[in-house]
């Protein structure tokens, strides 16, 4: 038995995402009740973080704080100790609506600190909105997960951290495989890790998410070198 | 004497830029006549590429093809052999106006293939506009200079080149030091070079531009390792 155990791999489960509907996959949990049930299954199977979006009754993306509140209450009851992360991503609302649930003080929230292209449009995260979301996270003591769709987003997070604009050392997630943004490229992945260690310290945890067909590839890369994984 | 001469360093002179006015600096050339005179001075001092924007009479940015035509005519006469590069950047016009001068068939034109943050706003280059600008460059045989404000822009250029969406192998320019985009970071600079060589071949030329206070630093880095420099 080794003297020190390796850091366990944390699995972050993205139960719903912002877009897929029951028509795409009948198993996608849409209502808050379905989301709680689905998360509990993942929690019991070993997931330690839940990345959550909420939906309207017609399955469209929402950032309704009331739905987030019901979800948080159910998760705290059924998945005690699980880390709850809310999405502040741009597909669920416009402008400050994206952060309307932060006063609920989840453990974590996603934070995009730069802009980039998506398959058919620009993913817009204007500087003043980024700063406002970060300041709300500071106010409610919410740890940011930086969604690094590109390399500069990691350097921007380091700058915001140095400036005191982030509540805590951020948890950086590399997002790879989105069309027109960063592809799932192994050399870039290795440089991302090197950059996180250089800017935030060798022991800083990070995670990686591969989108669509790249999910397993990126999970395998991450788990093999000590990162955490996102479904 | 060495058997082979090193590749000479090309200097690209950005005579006007999109924003500074006479009030900021009385030496900024604004009219086409002033631009031609200023470029000729730089050409005689050794610059081999001119990166050009045009301006309206009130000094605001313009993408007026008629002004670009007069500029090109004057440059061809007074700076014979100089490489003429027109800007298709987003500060000079909206949407397809940005490429309205491409039928003039300059030697080169700048091309942003992704989006990123600028000091106070999002620099928007939506995928369909990028593809349209690239297709106009193909039609008029204009060599693209990729403005790499972030790492994914280099990978996106490689993908567009592999897909046949670019007229030729692109000339990649690293743009560093823009607030809220990529800072002037030496490790990133070295990885940019490594990535260009990996994706486009060891002999592919590249250049680097540092913005504002970072101009000299980035020029020195570039010239020392065999890249080209932009004022
Ligand atoms: Zn999400
Ligand atoms: Zn994660
Ligand atoms: Zn320019
Ligand atoms: Zn250049």
A192-206, pLDDT tens digit by residue?
999 999 999 998 999
B154-182 in b/e burial notation, b at 16+ Cβ within 10 A? bbbbbbbbeeebbbeebbbbbbbbbebbb
A74-112, pLDDT tens digit by residue?
999 999 999 999 999 988 778 999 999 999 999 999 999
Band of residue A7 on the pLDDT scale cut at 50, 70, 90: low
> What distance in angstroms lies between residue A144's CA and the mean position of ligand 2's atoms?
10
> What distance in angstroms lies between residue B175's CA and the mean position of ligand 3's atoms?
11
Is pLDDT above 60 for B17? yes
Residue to test with chain A: of B90, B95, B112, B115, most A Cβ within 10 A: B115
Task: List, as ranges, residues 149-188 from A with C-beta within 8 Å of B.
Answer: 149-152, 155-156, 159, 180-183, 185, 187-188
* Predicted pLDDT at B231: 79
- CB contact under 8 Å between B122 and A122, yes or no, is yes
For residues A214 and A177, is the Cβ–Cβ distance under 8 A? yes
If one compares B38 and B230, the residue with the highest pLDDT of the two is: B38
Burial category of A43 from C-beta neighbours within 10 Å (exposed 0-12, middle 13-18, buried 19 and up): buried
Per the prediction, chain A carries an average pLDDT of 93
If one compares A9 and A146, the residue with the highest pLDDT of the two is: A146
In chain A, pLDDT over 90 holds for what percent of residues? 81
Is pLDDT above 60 for B5? no
A-chain residues within 8 Å CB-CB of B120? Answer: 127-128
The residues near A220 (Cβ < 8 Å, ≥ 6 apart) are: none
* Predicted pLDDT at A92: 77
CATH of B11-230 given 3.40.50.720, 2.40.50.40, 3.40.50.300, 3.20.20.70: 3.20.20.70
A123 touches chain B (CB under 8 A): yes
B120 touches chain A (CB under 8 A): yes
* Predicted pLDDT at B93: 79
- CB contact under 8 Å between B127 and A120, yes or no, is yes
> What distance in angstroms lies between residue B132's CA and the mean position of ligand 2's atoms?
35
In chain B, pLDDT over 70 holds for what percent of residues? 97
Domain ranges of chain B: 11-230
- Mean pLDDT value of segment A117-128: 97
């Amino acid at each position: 038995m080794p003297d020190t155990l390796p850091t366990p791999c944390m699995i972050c489960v993205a139960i719903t995402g912002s877009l897929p509907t029951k028509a795409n996959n009948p198993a996608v949990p849409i209502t808050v009740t379905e989301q709680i049930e689905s998360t509990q299954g993942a929690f019991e199977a070993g997931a330690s973080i839940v990345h959550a979006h909420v939906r309207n009754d017609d399955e469209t993306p929402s950032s309704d704080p009331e739905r987030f509140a019901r979800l948080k209450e159910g998760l705290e009851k059924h998945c005690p100790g699980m880390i709850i992360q809310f999405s502040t991503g741009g597909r669920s609302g416009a402008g400050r609506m994206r952060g309307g649930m932060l006063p609920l003080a989840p453990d974590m929230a996603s934070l995009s600190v730069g802009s980039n292209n998506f398959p058919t449009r620009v993913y817009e995260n204007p500087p003043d909105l980024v700063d406002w979301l970060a300041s709300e996270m500071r106010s409610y003591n919410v740890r940011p997960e930086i969604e690094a769709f590109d390399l500069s987003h990691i350097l921007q997070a380091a700058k915001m951290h140095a400036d005191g604009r982030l509540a805590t050392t951020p948890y950086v997630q590399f997002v790879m495989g989105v069309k027109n943004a960063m592809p799932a490229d192994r050399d870039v992945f290795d440089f991302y890790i090197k950059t996180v260690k250089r800017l935030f310290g060798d022991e800083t945890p990070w995670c990686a998410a591969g989108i669509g067909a790249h999910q397993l590839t990126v999970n395998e890369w991450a788990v093999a070198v000590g990162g955490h994984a996102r479904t």
